[in-house]
Amino acid sequence: FVGTTFEGSTTFIDSENAVGKAHGLIGVSAVWLREIFGVEVELAHVNGFFQAGDRRLVLDSRVTTLMGNVVVAAPARKTQYGLRPYLSGGAGLMWTHIGYAFGVFQVAETMGALDLGGGAQGYLTNRIGVGWDVRRFNSLSKTGEPGATTTGKEQLSFWRASMALVIRY
């Protein structure tokens, strides 16, 4: 899938005010879906999440999520090869990296994360279709005090909208 993030917020120092802006992403997911219930594993990657492009205070940044989700979809026998809406939610990991100029205040964090959202899939042929999805991602705050790179407990959240090529086998 390809998509964009939007409406992000964080306690990490956002020196370029970039987290709330749109950032392109790529990802892949595998879903095992029966009549109504299923499971999903997905991996998504966002380059430049903490970069706005105009200040050059952050040299490199990225956010990667690996999530395991439960999927609840409209019954397959009712939707057949038409549009099939679904809800998805689960837990996983969120990796955050921020490389600041001059090598100071580097961030490389792995945090637990939750996601919740929904979408729909529609099929163009018996095996090929397209999917649309909107989800909210929230990191699970780590315990501890604010450090040199945060304004509070480490936290990152954002919305993601995506469109996918769906291959059924």
Range of weakest confidence among 14-28, 44-58, 88-102, 125-139 = 44-58
DSSP letters for 143-163: SS---TTBSSS--EEEEEEEE
Q: Provide the pLDDT for residue 169.
A: 83
Percent of the residues in the chain that have a pLDDT greater than 90, as a whole number? 65
Summarize the confidence of residues 6-21 as an average pLDDT. 89
Q: What is the pLDDT of residue 90?
A: 98
67-to-63, 88, 124 alpha-carbon distances in Å: 13, 11, 27
| Summary mean pLDDT of the chain | 90
Cα separation, 108 vs 55, in Å, equals 21
Q: Is the pLDDT of residue 124 over 80?
A: yes
Q: Which residue has the higher pLDDT, 38 or 81?
A: 38
**pTM, entire model:** 0.90
Task: Tell me which residue of 43, 44, 61 sits closest to 52, measured CA to CA.
Answer: 61
**Cβ pair 64, 110 in contact under 8 A:** no
Which residue from 28, 18, 5 is spatially nearest to 159, judged by alpha carbons?
5
Q: pLDDT (tens digit, 9 = 90+) per residue, 20-70?
A: 999 999 999 999 999 999 999 999 999 999 998 766 788 899 999 999 999
Give mean pLDDT, residues 140-156. 69
pLDDT class for 82, splitting at 50, 70, 90? confident
pLDDT at residue 141, rounded to an integer: 73
Residue among 30, 43, 18 nearest 100 (CA) = 18
